[in-house]
Structure formats: structure tokens, C-alpha cells
């Protein structure tokens, strides 16, 4: 059975929809910038929704007990399937302690971003695998753990000049219109050049993500989370039948 692919939706995307993906996720919850609790906890969610807590607002003196109480009350009331801690700011001791506390305090499934998942007894949310990297090598570190995959569709651009090479992430909205396919890395690529430089661009389409999820399933990945704004609907053949 194909793995579940959750599509993370903003509050505006939730409010503007009458039909939702089979696996939806609420991505608007974060630490209050002016208090000790959480902001943007949902009042309503579609059935079997995943709740995502991010650190877009830095965690300051938020007590783990208060955060856990608010999350548990919300998730019980809305019957969420689990909690994803999408913490992307590295090296924050309070974030590490909160993740550890929530993993121990919850009866709900908890998945923690790979920034803070080491040493915790929970699922690990693996950062997007760059299109120039093989999936198996990235997942090897987490062998034996429950693995969730981030399918954010971020590309890569390599620029070669006489001064050397530089690389940078390329947003989904700025992909080339066409390219060649690499079926082993599940990506597309394009090469362009002029008198001063050569540019290699790699990116993933929805079909590439669908192929990536098939390999992920074979490697033992449990689920995946992408952005609704990038997919609009699940990748082809990536949903449960």
C-alpha cells in the first residue's frame, strides 16, 4: 500500500477549500511571539488531519507543560492523527528539551524534524533530499527509526565560472520550463551556458516526487509531507487506493 502523503495547508488554504486532500495537515501553528503559549491553533480541521508545530517564531520562555496542554486539548478535540514538530532552527536547547518532553508526554504519534530527532524515541522527519543526492544515502543514518520524508520541491542550481563553482537552492516557482530526466535521482535537469559560465539546474516535478515516494516506500519510509501550494493534489500514484 503506498505511503500516505500529507499536504500541509495554511489557514487561508483551509478556509478557501470545500474539498481537501485525503491526507491534510495544518501548518499554521507556531509559538506565540508575545505570550507563553501557541498561536494559530485551529478551531476546525478535516478528518484525520496532521497538526504541524513550527519554529517560524523562535521559542523563548515557553513552558513545555503549557505547550503540551494546549496541543493535547486541540488534538483531542479535533481528532488529529498526530503531531509533527517541524523545527528548523538548529542548536536551540529549549527546542530540543520541548521535543523531548512532548515525545514523552503524548499518547499521540509524534514526529520530529531531523534537526532534533537524534536520541528521541519518535518518528524522524527527514529534510528534503536534494535532487543531486541519492535517497538511500540520506536515509541510512536513520535506519531502524520510523521515517517521514519532507517532499518540499526545492531545486538546485550550480554555476561554474573561471573563478570556481557556486551552488544555491532554487525555488519551485523558478524551475525551467523543460529538462532531461534522471530516473535514479528522481529529478529533472537542464544545462545552459554562455561565454562566462555554465549553469546546471536540477529540480523535481510531481511525477518525480511520485517516483521518489515509491522508492521511499521500498526503503521503509512511513509517510511524507509536502506543501499543498506546490502540489494542489497528491502526486500521481502516491495516494492510497
Alpha-carbon 31 to chain mean position: 18
Q: What is the pLDDT of residues 190-209, one digit of tens each?
A: 998 898 999 999 999 989 99
pLDDT of residue 1: 58
Residue ranges of E strands in 95-234 = 110-113, 123-126, 147-150, 155-161, 164-170, 180-182, 187-193, 198-203, 223-227
Q: Write down how long the chain is.
A: 241
Q: What is the pLDDT of residues 6-22, one digit of tens each?
A: 999 999 999 878 788 88
Which helix (H) or strand (E) segment is 144 a member of?
Answer: none
Q: How many percent of the chain have pLDDT more than 70?
A: 95
Closest CA to 187 of 198, 203, 175, 172: 203
Quote the CA–CA distance of 183 and 102 in Å, as a whole number.
39
- Show me where the domains of the chain are located: 4-153+204-231, 156-201
CB–CB of 209/186 below 8 Å? yes
Find out if CATH 3.20.20.100 is the number for domain 4-153+204-231. Answer: no
Closest CA to 226 of 31, 48, 3, 32: 3
The x, y and z cell numbers of residue 133, run together, are 543526492
Amino acid at each position: 500500500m503506498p505511503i500516505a502523503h500529507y499536504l500541509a495547508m495554511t489557514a487561508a488554504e483551509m478556509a478557501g477549500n470545500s474539498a481537501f486532500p485525503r491526507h491534510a495537515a495544518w501548518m499554521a501553528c507556531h509559538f506565540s511571539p508575545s505570550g507563553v503559549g501557541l498561536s494559530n491553533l485551529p478551531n476546525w480541521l478535516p478528518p484525520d488531519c496532521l497538526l504541524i508545530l513550527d519554529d517560524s517564531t523562535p521559542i523563548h520562555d515557553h513552558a513545555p507543560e503549557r505547550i503540551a496542554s494546549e496541543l493535547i486539548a486541540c488534538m483531542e478535540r479535533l481528532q488529529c492523527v498526530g503531531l509533527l514538530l517541524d523545527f528548523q532552527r538548529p542548536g536551540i536547547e529549549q527546542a530540543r528539551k520541548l521535543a523531548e518532553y512532548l515525545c514523552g508526554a503524548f499518547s499521540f504519534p509524534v514526529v520530529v524534524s531531523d534537526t532534533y530527532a537524534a536520541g528521541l524515541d519518535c518518528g524522524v522527519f527527514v529534510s528534503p533530499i536534494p535532487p543531486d543526492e541519492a535517497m538511500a544515502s540520506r536515509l541510512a543514518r536513520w535506519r531502524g527509526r520510523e521515517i517521514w520524508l519532507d517532499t518540499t520541491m526545492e531545486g538546485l542550481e550550480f554555476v561554474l565560472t573561471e573563478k570556481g563553482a557556486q551552488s544555491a537552492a532554487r525555488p519551485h516557482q523558478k524551475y525551467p520550463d523543460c529538462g532531461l530526466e534522471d530516473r535514479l535521482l528522481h529529478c529533472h535537469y537542464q544545462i545552459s551556458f554562455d561565454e562566462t559560465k555554465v549553469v546546471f539546474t536540477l529540480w523535481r516535478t510531481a511525477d518525480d516526487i511520485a517516483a521518489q515516494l515509491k522508492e521511499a516506500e521500498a526503503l521503509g519510509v512511513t509517510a511524507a509531507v509536502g506543501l499543498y501550494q506546490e502540489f494542489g493534489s497528491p502526486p500521481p500514484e502516491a495516494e492510497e487506493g
